[in-house]
Amino acid sequence: MNVPYDRDALLALLQSESLQRGEFTLASGKKASYYLDCRKITLHPKGATLIAAGMLDVMKQSGPMPDAVGGMAIGADPITASIVTVAGLESLPLKGFMVRKEAKEHGTGKQVEGPVQPGQSVVIVEDVITTGGSAIRAVQAAREFGLDVKYVIGIIDRLAGGSEAFAKVDLELKTLCTIRDFGIEPE
């Protein structure tokens, strides 16, 4: 079963459910006149499916399919789960993993969790890319675990330095859209 990607439907859902205007302080500490609460669509049945289909489409067009996808807990978890679910519907053997902010102090003490092994190829997923800090921490943890990170896919790029930050760690940033798709110029 192939799940088609409808970019226009994703943009409409982002516009209606995620984009808020006002005065906000971002995770990066920067001030902004708009906020993108992507949890409202990553945890939405239609949004989760659109994001998964879009990110799978990017992966299919970017060369060999990676072994797994994942990112920083908690933000990337619903994205990862949606991608793995849609991949399963499409009979793709793509697995998921999560990166904890820090290694557990109990159990196995892992920072990277899931059915992944050192040497496997992976893609890091993220919702909103501003400076790239959270996704870069996930990249570093994945690399320390021994995973081969191919690139990063975000839902939306605020065009605030994320691409440049990923270039510094030898990675390409791919996104489903940018803030310009909503007629907003970078701040």
What is the per-residue pLDDT across 146-163, written as a single tens digit (0 to 9) for each? Answer: 999 999 999 999 999 999
CA pair distance 95, 106, nearest whole angstrom? 24
**Predicted local distance difference test score (pLDDT) of residue 39:** 95
Average pLDDT value for the chain: 94
Residue 124, marked binder:
no
List, in order, residues 6 or more apart from 56 with CB less than 8 Å away: 3, 5, 83, 86, 87, 90, 92, 94
Residue 58, marked binder:
no
Residue 161, marked binder:
no
pTM to 2 decimal places: 0.94
Residue 21, marked binder:
no
What is the per-residue pLDDT across 34-52, written as a single tens digit (0 to 9) for each? Answer: 999 999 999 999 999 999 9
Residue 44, marked binder:
no
Amino acid 98 reads M
Residue 67, marked binder:
no
Domains and CATH numbers, the chain: 7-181 (3.40.50.2020)
Residue 40, marked binder:
no
Backbone angles phi, psi at 100, to 5 degrees: -75, 155
